[in-house]
Amino acid sequence: MMPPLRLAGTLIPAMAFLSCLKPESWEPCVEVVPNITYQCMEVNLYKIPDNIPSSTENLDLSFNPLRYLGNRNFSKFPELQVLDLSRCDIQAIEDDAYWGLNHLSTLILTGNPIQHLGLGAFSGLSNLQKLVAVETNLDSLENFPIGHLKTLKELNVAHNLIHSFKIPGYFSNLPNLEYLDLSNNKIRNIFHEDVQVLHQMPLLNLSLEISLNPIDFIQPSAFNGIRLYGLTLRNNFNSTNIMKTCIQGLAGLEVHQLVLGEFRNERNIENFNKSSLEGLCNLTIGEFHLAFLDDSPDNTIDLFNCLANVSAISLVSKTTISVSVLSVLVVSAVVVLVYKFYFHLMLLAGCKKYGRGESTYDAFVIYSSQDEDWVRNELVRNLEEGVPSFQLCLHYRDFIPGVAIAANIIQEGFHKSRKVIVVVSQHFIQSRWCIFEYEIAQTWQFLSSRAGIIFIVLQKLEKSLLQQQVELYRLLSRNTYLEWEDNALGRHIFWRRLRKALLDGKPWSPEAAADAENCQQEATTAT
Ligand SMILES: *[C@@H]1O[C@H](CO)[C@@H](O)[C@H](O)[C@H]1NC(C)=O
Ligand SMILES: *[C@@H]1O[C@H](CO)[C@@H](O)[C@H](O)[C@H]1NC(C)=O
Ligand SMILES: *[C@@H]1O[C@H](CO)[C@@H](O)[C@H](O)[C@H]1NC(C)=O
Ligand SMILES: *[C@@H]1O[C@H](CO)[C@@H](O)[C@H](O)[C@H]1NC(C)=O
Ligand SMILES: *[C@@H]1O[C@H](CO)[C@@H](O)[C@H](O)[C@H]1NC(C)=O
Ligand SMILES: *[C@@H]1O[C@H](CO)[C@@H](O)[C@H](O)[C@H]1NC(C)=O
Ligand SMILES: *[C@@H]1O[C@H](CO)[C@@H](O)[C@H](O)[C@H]1NC(C)=O
């Protein structure tokens, strides 16, 4: 008989050997679709996991402290199609970091404080269609090493530090580019030479989104002879005069869809004067949308004489939209008194379905209209752009006032949202409408018996004010909630926690991202 010590000496290595023979484990990641989709969000990875099958096509590594991407870091995953590196604290990306990823079509780098980007950082990505580099400290497109990405369709560099509108010459190598999002940067001027390259590519079918840049000058005729599919300028001008001269500067542009205006509550222009739109007469426009600028509807009649050939005009303004919301409110109030419970279901049914068949919303968002800008610019952008992409049900675009309610729609609508996000703010507490919606959400939670309410607290709230809403106060003090902080660390923690909360119970499908994009249409009121 072996002495116990020797026995242990034999058994331990043997056990270690046997454990090596066990089928490979992909811990700590979650296997969503075997051999295809792995989800490794926030599992404290310092390096790319090597125990995931090389056949993986979709990999979510978001919220891990990867910090540094070196040469050929992903070469073990030649089949990758979608790679999410959101908020991985990545500060440097070396040359050939994505070497071998010839099938990658979507790369998400949102929320990384990138300081060093090798000139060959994106080399090899011969099939990349969508690059999301929101909040990555990018200060210029000129040095962004993407000139070889011939297949690129969508480039999102919103929320960065870009000062110049200069569309670099390398764009002439990107003939498939359809969407360039430069919103929320630091662009002040647009000069003729900035858009020179667009003259060289007459077939380009490009939509430009430049909202939320503090533009005060557009050089006259800078856009003369240029054709765009779309151009969006919201919250760009801080006075009617600046708006007027900038619109005159657009003379000669041919654009299928032009969107001008502001966001509902971030209004820079106090006294809108329709004469500031005169310059539009020198543009060729297919569809025209004006949001939250014009307070008086009778202003609009003669405004558009020179837009006679425009196929669609829509105006969203304080008088139109809020009137309809108001009337919904009044009608609701009456209905509530009579059929409170029934109405709860109706309201939720107001969110029309995305896409076909079974698709659902990840969350129904309840917020005060005063916080709509935050919802649009932060919540929607961060949640609908990521992988997995979350689909939100928002009343400003998904809610159909006065929709016919049949019992089966109620059933359907009721089951369409997995969660409810409640955006709590000073405005929220003061708004009866929100409290009302919130009560509905509670009913919903009660009925569906799913633990579904996520609270987001936007600002520090005065306790006394909060206490007036007894029920809300009780819930907030009893539950954990997410507090929004607008700084790098605060954002990181916030989005990580929120995504985690939303992922709970979500079926993971990257294709859903494509569906969501088809449904970005805003609820507008046509005149
Ligand atoms: C995953 O890949 C392995 C190795 O290629 C294979 O043995 C296994 O059958 C695959 N599993 C599925 C579900 O396709
Ligand atoms: C990338 O590769 C380098 C060296 O090959 C390694 O030091 C680093 O940890 C890798 N990074 C990640 C995030 O795996
Ligand atoms: C141009 O791009 C828009 C989307 O931005 C798309 O709907 C349209 O079909 C494209 N047109 C062509 C001719 O490719
Ligand atoms: C408008 O913007 C200019 C600079 O772009 C700034 O100097 C000015 O104070 C702003 N005016 C208002 C009313 O915000
Ligand atoms: C609008 O601007 C035009 C020219 O700048 C001016 O003549 C007109 O009085 C203004 N209208 C209002 C209502 O301020
Ligand atoms: C349209 O362009 C012409 C020539 O550039 C200019 O004289 C005219 O003032 C412009 N009209 C408007 C309304 O800006
Ligand atoms: C509208 O189109 C017609 C035919 O193309 C053209 O003759 C007319 O000048 C256009 N009107 C305006 C205001 O652009």
Q: Is 249 in the pocket of ligand 6 (CB under 6 A)?
A: no
pLDDT tens-place string over residues 294-322: 555 555 545 566 776 777 777 765 473 34
Predicted pLDDT of residue 399: 44
pLDDT tens-place string over residues 165-222: 999 999 999 999 999 999 989 999 999 999 999 988 877 899 999 998 999 999 999 9
Q: How far is the CA of 243 from the centre of ligand 5 (A)?
A: 14
Q: How far is the CA of 304 from the centre of ligand 7 (A)?
A: 13
pLDDT tens-place string over residues 79-95: 999 999 988 889 999 99
Cis peptide before 388 (omega within 30 of 0): yes
Helix (H) or strand (E) holding 196: helix 196-199
Contacts 24+ apart (CB under 8 A), 2-7: none
Q: Region 53-68: what's the mean pLDDT?
A: 92
What atom in ligand 4 is closest to the CA of residue 214? 5
User: Phi-psi region for residue 340, left (φ > 0), alpha (ψ -120 to 50) or beta?
Assistant: alpha
Average pLDDT, the chain: 75
Report the distance separating Cα 527 and Cα 102, nearest Å: 48
Predicted pLDDT of residue 401: 41
Q: Indicate the pTM of the whole model.
A: 0.70
pLDDT tens-place string over residues 452-509: 678 888 877 777 777 666 666 766 766 668 888 888 888 888 988 898 888 876 665 5
- Give the whole-number percent of the chain exceeding pLDDT 70: 67
Q: How far is the CA of 20 from the centre of ligand 1 (A)?
A: 18
Q: How confident is the model at residue 42 (pLDDT cuts 50, 70, 90)?
A: confident
Predicted pLDDT of residue 192: 95
Q: Beta 30-33 vs 37-39: how paired, if at all?
A: antiparallel
Mutate to test the pocket of ligand 1, among 25, 31, 32, 35 (most ligand atoms within 8 A of CB): 35
Q: How far is the CA of 181 from the centre of ligand 1 (A)?
A: 40
| Whether pLDDT at 354 is above 50 | no
Report the distance separating Cα 180 and Cα 197, nearest Å: 14
Q: Region 326-355: what's the mean pLDDT?
A: 42
Report the distance separating Cα 526 and Cα 289, nearest Å: 9
Predicted pLDDT of residue 337: 42
Report the distance separating Cα 64 and Cα 453, nearest Å: 26
Q: Is 261 in the pocket of ligand 6 (CB under 6 A)?
A: no
Q: Region 389-394: what's the mean pLDDT?
A: 80
Of the two residues 6 and 258, the one the predictor is more confident about is: 258
Report the distance separating Cα 302 and Cα 228, nearest Å: 26
* Nearest residue to 234 via CA among 189, 199, 185, 183: 183
Helix intervals (H) in 399-517: 407-414, 426-430, 432-448, 463-468, 470-478, 488-503, 511-517
